Structure 1
Amino acid sequence: MRKTTLLAAAALLGSPGLTLAQNTAEENNPNVDAPFVRNIRADRPGQTITAQVLQPGRFQLETGFQRQFGGSSLAQSLSAATLRIGFFNSMELRVTQGYRHNGPTMTTEAGLVEARGYAPTVIGTKLMISPNYDTRTQVAIMVESAVPGTGSAALKATTWAPTGRLLVSEQLGERFGLEGNFGFSQPGITTADISKGQFLGSLALNGPLSQKAGFFVEAFGYGRSGLNMGTTAGLYIRPVPAMRLDVTAGQVLGGTAAGTTTVGAGLTFKVGN
């Protein structure tokens, strides 16, 4: 009897320890199945980039088209695609290729050319700082740069042009999220280029309107001595879990670009759970 009692007690005490030892930090995270982290979180539209870092082996392709008009600048049509790849060591690799459908005439060594065609290719990475992929508060650092020698004749990059951002995301409830960015970009890598750089700050709220549809609203500011401030808002729908469609509209309300309006649409695909 005493032997049976001891064996039973050992089983009761030992089982939880074995179970916990076999589970990973992700499996023990009660937030892992929250809709906010399970649904597609795209780095578009708007100025704000999500703090989410894709897990290893996951891929996400984000494409979009935007029309910009009004204000003091020439009306332009732009499109771009970003490929995001989940990598090891809490890292995400990113490649972005843009295309400018029209632009102002520029003088180059080859003569007058219109600033249209492929923009410089941008490569970068996100590095996760938060303890796991699905925590309610997520923090990451993103660094990117245009690649010298890439892009069409009038748009070609001649030097590295680095950008850095601190990305912070806070989950509200199970489905809503607040995303914040603070960053700095400069047109080159020399000391003089630092004085030409621009700061960026943004705050965005997104959440559901139904099981498959949701909204996005953002406030942003960018510039240096004079700050351009504005808002972007949009709607998105997920016809299937691995796809998201969105439409957006934005307005610069203050600064040198005041009066500039943007409208756009995008499509996002996700591969991997």
Structure 2
Amino acid sequence: MRTTTLLTAVLFLGASGHTLAQTTDPTENEDAPFVRNIRPDRPGQTVTTSMLRPGQFQVEAGTLRRLPGSGPATSYSTGLLRVGFWNHMELRLTQNYLAAQPRSVVEGTAPAPFGMAPLTVGAKWLASSEQDARSQVVFLTELTLPNTGDRSLNIDKPVAAARALVSQQIGKRYGIEGNLGFSQSGFKAADTKVGQFLYTLALNGPISKNFGFFAEGYGSGRGTYTHGATAGLNWRPLPGLRLDVTAGRSLTGPSLTTFGGGLSMRLPR
């Protein structure tokens, strides 16, 4: 039932975005700061509808410190390479690195896993009629591959994920963006029954000419959902360069606080 509801919502979002985008002349929006300035897919849970033009490259890197209510803190870094391709498509490579934790003082305790996480390959696909319209819908598909990272972090089956990404520009600089997604480990019918849902809603915009903010809420799970919120500030010295700092907090489920920072760079502008 939840899978049917999700698919119906995705189709509705795609059709709505296609209709909205047709009512806007994208040439009148190309120089808007919301379009011209870099819009990375980090650091929160929300992936933007921003897509690179053919021949553009974007590198996004950051680190996140996770502080659970109980248990040791963990740190991991993320690297994302985005490449603009033809026919309104963007190719993506993502890989995380989990830092080593201090060894337990309890004798006989095995060290916690650390190292490079499995590699994720993906693509964004434009569902709207025009790129960089004020209202836009994009689909994201990703596949996390076994045997592509450290042995201690290896996964038994590939993990497939898909999201519908929706954005609505407000004025020239503000935007509301939302995601609706599903992920599962493996490709059998039984795997679908234990897959996880994700939804997010984010607001981003400027504070001054070069400083901006973003705030989001999100939920993930199946049957029982875990909710959280993330907020951050960013500094953009150039249209194609952005640095950010963030803080997050779980609202339901196990207590978790996060702090992070990173940078994103796009070439050419």
Post-superposition CA distance 1:99-147 (Å, at most 9, x none): 0003699xxxxx9553100000000000001122210001000000111
1:267 corresponds in structure 2 to 263
Root-mean-square deviation (CA, aligned residues, Å) is: 2.0
Change (3 A) 1:215 1:254: same
Q: Which runs of 5+ in 1 are unaligned?
A: 1-25, 106-110
2:162–2:182 contact (8 Å) kept in structure 1: yes
1:227 corresponds in structure 2 to 225
1:65–1:78 contact (8 Å) kept in structure 2: yes
1:204 to 171, 196, 202: 202
1:170 corresponds in structure 2 to 168
* Matches for 1:53-92 after TM superposition, within 5 Å: 53-72=51-70, 74-92=72-90
2:26–2:130 contact (8 Å) kept in structure 1: no
* Matches for 1:40-59 after TM superposition, within 5 Å: 40-59=38-57
* Matches for 1:1-273 after TM superposition, within 5 Å: 29-72=27-70, 74-102=72-100, 112=110, 114-255=112-253, 257=254, 259-273=255-269
2:25–2:133 contact (8 Å) kept in structure 1: no
Cα distance in structure 1, aligned partners of 2:33 and 2:243 = 17
Cα distance in structure 2, aligned partners of 1:187 and 1:226 = 19
**Counterpart code for 2:90:** E
SS of equivalent to 1:150: coil
* Deviation of the 1:190 alpha carbon: 2.1
1:150–1:157 contact (8 Å) kept in structure 2: no
Post-superposition CA distance 1:158-199 (Å, at most 9, x none): 321101000001100000010100001112222222222111
Cα distance in structure 1, aligned partners of 2:57 and 2:143 = 20
Cα distance in structure 1, aligned partners of 2:112 and 2:73 = 14
Change (3 A) 1:72 1:37: same
2:63–2:76 contact (8 Å) kept in structure 1: yes
**Counterpart code for 2:45:** Q
SS of equivalent to 1:45: coil
TM normalised by structure 2 equals 0.85
Question: Percent identity of the aligned residues?
Answer: 48
**Counterpart code for 1:210:** S
* Deviation of the 1:88 alpha carbon: 0.6
Q: Which has the larger radius of gyration?
A: 1
**Counterpart code for 1:199:** F
Cα distance in structure 1, aligned partners of 2:69 and 2:130 = 43
Change (3 A) 1:60 1:36: same
1:55–1:133 contact (8 Å) kept in structure 2: no
**Counterpart code for 1:180:** G
* Deviation of the 1:74 alpha carbon: 4.1
Alignment: residue pair count: 241
1:151–1:157 contact (8 Å) kept in structure 2: no
1:12 corresponds in structure 2 to none
